[in-house]
Amino acid sequence: MVKQVVFIIALVFTIAAFAVTTRRFIRFFKLTKPAFKVRQIGERTVLMLKVAIGQTKIFRRPVMGLLHALVFWGFCVILIGSIEMMIDGVTGTEKVLRFLGIFYDIIMASGDIFALLIAFAIIVFLARRLFLNVKRFSGIEMKHISHVDANIALTMILLLMISLLGMNTFYILSAAEAGNQIYGYYPVSIFMAGFLRTTGQANHILYETNWWAHILLIFIFANYLPYSKHFHVFMSVPNVFLSRLEPLGKLDTMENITREVKIMMDPDQAFASPAEGEEEADTERFGVLDIEDVSWKSYLDSLACTECGRCTSVCPANITGKKLSPRKVIMDVRARMKEKGPGLVKEGTEFSDGKSLIRDLVSEEELWACTLCNACAQECPININHPVLIVNMRRYLVMEESAAPGELNSIFSNIENNGAPWQFSMEDRMLWAEDISMNDIPG
């Protein structure tokens, strides 16, 4: 009974803390702009199963990709055991899902095996971070706190797996010594139990110790993740489900600009009703200057970012020494919302801290270094679309400040004056062909 009460108190505190964090993120999302309407649910579900659950994009780096996939799949399996522990803790039962019979044996055996595999993978991940100089783990955006955060999260996962194996091992020993039936099958823990010589009350105490260590680590980890780079544990699956379904490289048009162009070509369009699905709204600002101009999808991308650096490692601009790091741009969105979001929530859209996303975090040099090749979006294992955000920040510079590079401004002027990118009038366009006769044309 005491165990049950203590567990319920711990669970309530965990849920309350998580609810406060969730409320904070919901308020931040309300500050963002619309992105697209979520349709094509079937196509999105297939994409989610393929990319997020199947981890297909992560296998482009086969060895580390396999280890990462095993960690993800293992968490999915172990989650079932965690749910059972929640039910047992609240109701005061023991192995409440044992009525599943053979399926229970399969679930417990899978969780036991995955616990060992995950522990091995985490040790490899920690060793790479601590002892190997992996280039994509470094960069101007990767502050010391980022590395500390990664090490803390990986250590917590390792402790979760150790406590799970310890819990299973001492459950087997205590049940066997008491003559009770062992529910579930635990191939790894049975092997480990064979090497232990603990007897009597020690087995039960060690079982309870590991049980509490495991469940409390779950509670702590769940509330630590939203403030960690490992928030992708929660956010990667919904982020993939909400991916842009258009081909990479397709840029969204701005409806208000499209309408102005139509009016220039056909003045009657000024009196036409908006097309179906087209919204007629006043635009406060063209493009993205600061965090309140960012779409909800770009902000979701920033929360889901794993900081793995795969995007930056394939970016041709970064590879050739330019300042651009696609990972940094996404991380800057998250950092800017954390910095300015509370003020916007408290004081409204009039709040200003004298800073902006462009220039204070992302420089113009970074934005114009992007070639829009979409290598970053292609490589991202959770379908973050970096170019969409970069283009929207460029749009602000061009349309609000006329702050494009000189070469582009020349092209814009030529288009405005001559109807073409070249610096000569329409009347002179065919001068180059005056001395060409029909006999000079092949065929």
Convert the pLDDT of each residue in 165-183 to its tens digit: 999 999 999 988 888 889 9
- Compute the average pLDDT of residues 352-368: 94
Q: What percent of the chain has pLDDT over 90?
A: 64
Residue 136 predicted with pLDDT over 80:
yes
Residue with the larger pLDDT of the pair 74 and 422: 74
- Tokens 């998250």 — which residue? 334
Candidates 233, 241, 231, 306; CA nearest to 50 is 241
pLDDT tier at 249, thresholds 50, 70, 90? confident
Reduce the DSSP state of residue 362 to 3 states and report it: strand
pLDDT digits (tens, 9 = 90+) for 266-302: 777 666 665 554 555 455 788 999 999 999 999 999 9
- Compute the average pLDDT of residues 425-436: 76
Give the model's pLDDT for residue 441: 63
- Compute the average pLDDT of residues 332-358: 93
Rounded Cα distance between 380 and 301, Å, is 11
pLDDT digits (tens, 9 = 90+) for 371-410: 999 999 999 999 999 999 999 999 999 988 888 888 888 8
Give the model's pLDDT for residue 278: 52
Residue 411 predicted with pLDDT over 90:
no
Q: What percent of the chain has pLDDT over 70?
A: 95
The DSSP secondary structure of 194-250, one letter per residue, reads TT----THHHHHHHHHHHHHHHHHHHHHHHHGGGSGGGHHHHHHHHHHT---SPTTP
Q: Looking at this protein, which amino acid is placed at residue 371?
A: T
pLDDT tier at 412, thresholds 50, 70, 90? confident
pLDDT digits (tens, 9 = 90+) for 47-59: 999 999 999 999 9
- Min mean pLDDT across 41-50, 223-232, 273-282 is at 273-282
Give the model's pLDDT for residue 282: 52
Give the model's pLDDT for residue 77: 93
Residue with the larger pLDDT of the pair 428 and 212: 212
pLDDT tier at 431, thresholds 50, 70, 90? confident
pLDDT tier at 439, thresholds 50, 70, 90? low
DSSP state of 95: S
Q: How far is CA 353 from the centre of its chain?
A: 27
> CB–CB of 231/304 below 8 Å?
yes
- Tokens 């010391």 — which residue? 144
Residue with the larger pLDDT of the pair 249 and 423: 249
Give the model's pLDDT for residue 381: 93
Give the model's pLDDT for residue 301: 95
Q: Which residues pair with 295 in a beta bridge?
A: 33
Residue 354 burial (CB count, 10 A) = 5
Give the model's pLDDT for residue 270: 62
Residues in contact with 38: Cβ distance below 8 Å, sequence separation at least 6, in sequence order:
44, 242
Residues in contact with 422: Cβ distance below 8 Å, sequence separation at least 6, in sequence order:
414, 429
Q: Considering Cα of 126, then 127, then 132, then 135, what sign does the dihedral take?
A: negative
Q: Looking at this protein, which amino acid is placed at residue 138?
A: S
Q: Which residues pair with 362 in a beta bridge?
A: 358
Give the model's pLDDT for residue 271: 64
Rounded Cα distance between 144 and 362, Å, is 20
pLDDT tier at 438, thresholds 50, 70, 90? low
What radius of gyration do the chain's Cα atoms show?
28
Please, what is the end-to-end C-alpha distance for the chain in angstroms? 96
Rounded Cα distance between 383 and 399, Å, is 28
Give the model's pLDDT for residue 262: 79
Residue 321 predicted with pLDDT over 90:
yes
pLDDT tier at 432, thresholds 50, 70, 90? confident
Domains of the chain: 2-30+61-233 (1.20.950), 255-425 (1.10.1060)
- Min mean pLDDT across 11-25, 161-175, 246-260 is at 246-260
Candidates 171, 166, 164; CA nearest to 221 is 164
